[in-house]
């Protein structure tokens, strides 16, 4: 329809300011009822009134012809006699004696009923319902009638909106039923548009969660009203009063959803948000809240670390939600990362705080890597197993001045291994040898002369890793291997003759150890007939060539030596020794 035309004439005279010309206002054409036109009288002071001119056409684009001239300045209506059944379009002008002034035209109206507004959506807001629409394209529309289905009464008009294109129905009960709304456009003559297609609110319901399923079933009625249909729906959840967040997007045709992994003693509030297909229109459902009284499951179970302590035991640690309602949990160990055996079975009531560490004292981590995991069983007989962690197995082999070291990787699929650090233990204490990246598993250590003289040099390696725990924090862990040692073979010197003559040179028969001290020692001397002439368990005590305080005869004697090193190596020697005078 043609809008009212406003024209302004500007006259510019070189350096003089411009002058705004007067205008002849048209009557304000309000509405058409039946075949009668109604308008409001304009306020024109530019010159004497002559008439109101009504133009008409059966084509909106024209041409328009003068239908009638109204000479009564107070007249506010006109009846078009015998227009037939055709659609007519009208506009008006004022004829005033105002030479040279702009003549304005009214809005162009037709004799049809007003066009319906575009009903966009209805949406639940708490216990209220918000109705939203786009304005009717008919210029004569002055308001909109909101109607709602009321039980036992039918469809009842609840209000008329004259300003804006939204309305909040505070008398609705969208948390008890799906409310249905209708919308009509209204003009000043009381003409109404066709009733829009109805839109209904979404009523959401929820089941009582079972104690072991740990899920809540949501169900709702489909949103109806969008001609293009529902494109998608979002599930929004608020837990324990926190701000609601979307947790899932589902198809536009779905009317149920299972919300899983709920926590015990938590309050959940749900809403559904439907989106119109191809439009940015949304309808939110009523809210439903459910208090969950369920068996609290093991929501996370993380094997954190396995490390060898200073006593050669393995300390295994883990993380879990300690509010899980468990009936038992077990510590499991493997030597091949395949076959796990429960090494500890613990039955614990829910009221008892579960431990998060276990010391394995019945194992030797020097023989190879060890693998650990923990498994829990809750009151619903559901078993949850953690990830697997391993100890590091370090091996050391000596070649002259060099010690070749190899180690197994630290295994923890939830951890980020950052580095390996190698340490040496010697008589001088513990020293850091080197730090390696996460992909290095071997190195060679060079032993100095002083270290070569030591009976034993030991090593251990330590992995540094980090784990992201469920609350988002980063946990740093360190896993240490058992010690791997390399030992010197004892250098034992035994003379083949001695002369106890008091000159201070070779006066007694004894063994000489190149380095270190034995943990067990025995030296025996026999005569040629097998008689025991001397015996000692002290390496610093030798035979002075006497028996029961008397000099033994010169000649050949037999000896036997038994020596055990600190690393467990046993040395045995036997032979002949000459006694000289």
| Residue 363 and residue 481 in one domain | yes
Express each pLDDT in 434-486 by its tens digit. 999 999 999 999 887 565 556 678 999 999 999 998 888 999 999 999 999 98
| Residue 542 and residue 464 in one domain | no
Express each pLDDT in 530-547 by its tens digit. 899 999 999 889 999 998
Cα–Cα separations (whole angstroms), residue 100 to 8, 204, 214? 12, 67, 83
Express each pLDDT in 300-356 by its tens digit. 999 999 999 999 999 999 998 878 888 899 999 999 999 999 999 888 654 444 568
- Residue 448 domain-assigned? yes
- Angle at alpha carbon of residue 275, lines to 263 and 202, rounded to 5°: 65
| Residue 284 and residue 307 in one domain | no
- Residue 1 domain-assigned? no
In total, how many domains does the chain have?
Answer: 5
| Residue 142 and residue 245 in one domain | no
Closest CA to 97 of 46, 30, 136: 46
Q: What is the pLDDT of residue 15?
A: 35
Show which of 167, 183, 200 is a domain's final residue: 200
What percentage of the chain reaches a pLDDT higher than 90? Answer: 74
Show which of 110, 137, 157 is a domain's final residue: 110
Q: What is the pLDDT of residue 350?
A: 46
Q: What is the pLDDT of residue 85?
A: 86
| Residue 423 and residue 338 in one domain | yes
Q: What is the CATH number for 360? A: 2.60.40.10
- Residue 5 domain-assigned? no
Pairing of strands 415-426, 456-468: antiparallel
| Residue 95 and residue 147 in one domain | no
Q: What is the pLDDT of residue 183?
A: 97
- Residue 4 domain-assigned? no
- Angle at alpha carbon of residue 140, lines to 135 and 146, rounded to 5°: 50
Q: What is the mean pLDDT of residues 53-71?
A: 96
- Do residues 114 and 193 lie in contact, with contact meaning Cβ atoms separated by under 8 Å? yes
CA dihedral for 324, 325, 330, 336, sign (positive or negative): negative
Cβ contacts of 321 within 8 Å, gap of 6 or more = 296, 298, 299, 300, 470
- Residue 2 domain-assigned? no
Q: What is the pLDDT of residue 491?
A: 65
Cα–Cα distance measured from residue 9 to residue 4, given in angstroms and rounded to the nearest whole number: 16
Show which of 426, 458, 488 is a domain's final residue: 488
Tokens representing residue 259 in the block: 């919300």
Strand arrangement, sheet containing 89-96: 65-70, 49-57, 89-96, 109-110
In DSSP notation, 91-105 reads EEEEEES-TTPEEPB
Cα–Cα distance measured from residue 571 to residue 514, given in angstroms and rounded to the nearest whole number: 13
| Residue 333 and residue 476 in one domain | yes
Q: What is the pLDDT of residue 210?
A: 85
The residue range of the domain holding 237 is 204-292
| Residue 367 and residue 466 in one domain | yes
- Residue 376 domain-assigned? yes
| Residue 220 and residue 71 in one domain | no
| Residue 242 and residue 173 in one domain | no
| Residue 496 and residue 519 in one domain | yes
Q: What is the CATH number for 563? A: 2.60.40
- Residue 70 domain-assigned? yes
- Residue 499 domain-assigned? yes
| Residue 59 and residue 182 in one domain | no
Closest CA to 389 of 279, 278, 304: 304
Cβ contacts of 225 within 8 Å, gap of 6 or more = 119, 121, 122, 197, 198, 199, 200
For residue 121, report the phi and psi dihedrals to the nearest 5 degrees: -170, 165
Q: Is the pLDDT of residue 581 over 90?
A: no
């Amino acid at each position: 329809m043609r809008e009212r035309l406003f024209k302004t004439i500007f006259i510019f005279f070189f350096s003089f300011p411009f002058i705004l010309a007067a205008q002849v206002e048209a009557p304000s054409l309000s509405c058409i009822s039946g075949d009668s036109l109604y308008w409001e009288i304009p306020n024109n002071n530019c010159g004497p009134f002559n008439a109101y001119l009504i133009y008409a056409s059966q084509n909106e684009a024209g041409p328009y012809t003068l239908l009638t001239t109204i000479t009564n300045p107070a007249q506010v209506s006109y009846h078009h006699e015998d227009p037939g059944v055709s659609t007519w379009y009208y506009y008006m002008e004022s004829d005033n004696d105002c030479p040279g002034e702009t003549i304005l035209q009214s809005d162009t109206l037709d004799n049809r009923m007003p066009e319906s507004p575009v009903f966009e959506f209805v949406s639940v807001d708490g216990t209220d319902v918000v109705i939203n629409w786009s304005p009717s394209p008919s210029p004569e529309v002055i308001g909109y009638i909101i109607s709602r289905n009321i039980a036992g009464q039918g469809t009842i008009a609840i209000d008329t909106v004259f300003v804006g294109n939204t309305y909040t129905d505070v008398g609705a009960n969208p948390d008890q039923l799906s409310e249905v709304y209708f919308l009509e456009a209204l003009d000043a003559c009381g003409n109404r548009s066709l009733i829009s297609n109805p839109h209904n609110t979404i009523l959401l319901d929820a089941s009582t969660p079972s104690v072991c399923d740990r899920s809540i079933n949501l169900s709702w009625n489909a949103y109806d009203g969008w001609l293009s249909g529902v494109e998608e729906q979002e599930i929004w959840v608020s837990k324990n009063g926190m701000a609601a967040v979307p947790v899932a997007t589902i198809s536009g045709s779905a009317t149920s959803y299972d919300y899983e992994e709920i926590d015990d003693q938590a309050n959940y509030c749900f809403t559904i948000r439907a989106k119109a297909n191809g439009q940015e229109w949304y309808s939110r459902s009523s809210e439903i809240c459910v208090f969950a009284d369920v068996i609290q499951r093991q929501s996370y179970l993380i094997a954190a670390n396995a490390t060898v302590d200073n006593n050669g035991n393995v300390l295994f640690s883990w993380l879990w939600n300690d509010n899980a309602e468990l009936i038992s949990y077990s510590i499991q160990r493997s030597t091949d990362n395949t076959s796990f055996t429960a090494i500890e079975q613990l039955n614990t009531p829910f009221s008892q705080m579960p431990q998060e560490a276990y010391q394995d004292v019945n194992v030797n981590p020097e023989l190879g890597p060890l693998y650990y995991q923990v498994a829990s069983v809750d009151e619903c007989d559901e078993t949850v197993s953690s990830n697997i962690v391993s100890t590091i197995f370090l091996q050391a082999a000596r070649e002259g001045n060099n010690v070749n070291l190899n180690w197994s990787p630290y295994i923890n699929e939830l951890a980020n291994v950052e580095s390996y650090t190698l340490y040496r233990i010697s008589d001088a204490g513990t020293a850091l040898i080197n730090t390696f990246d996460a992909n290095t598993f071997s190195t060679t250590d060079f032993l100095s002369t002083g270290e070569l003289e030591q009976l034993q040099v030991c090593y251990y390696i330590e992995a540094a890793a980090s784990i992201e725990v469920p609350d988002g924090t980063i946990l740093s862990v360190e896993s240490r291997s058992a010690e791997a040692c390399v030992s010197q073979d004892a250098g034992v010197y035994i003379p083949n003759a001695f002369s106890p003559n008091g000159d201070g040179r070779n006066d007694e028969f004894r063994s000489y150890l190149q380095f270190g001290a034995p943990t067990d020692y025995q030296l025996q001397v026999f005569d040629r007939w097998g008689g025991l002439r001397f015996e000692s368990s002290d390496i610093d005590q030798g035979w002075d060539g006497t028996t029961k305080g008397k000099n033994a005869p010169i000649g050949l004697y037999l000896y036997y030596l038994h020596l055990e090193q600190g690393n467990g190596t046993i040395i045995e020697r036997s032979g002949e020794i000459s006694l000289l005078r």
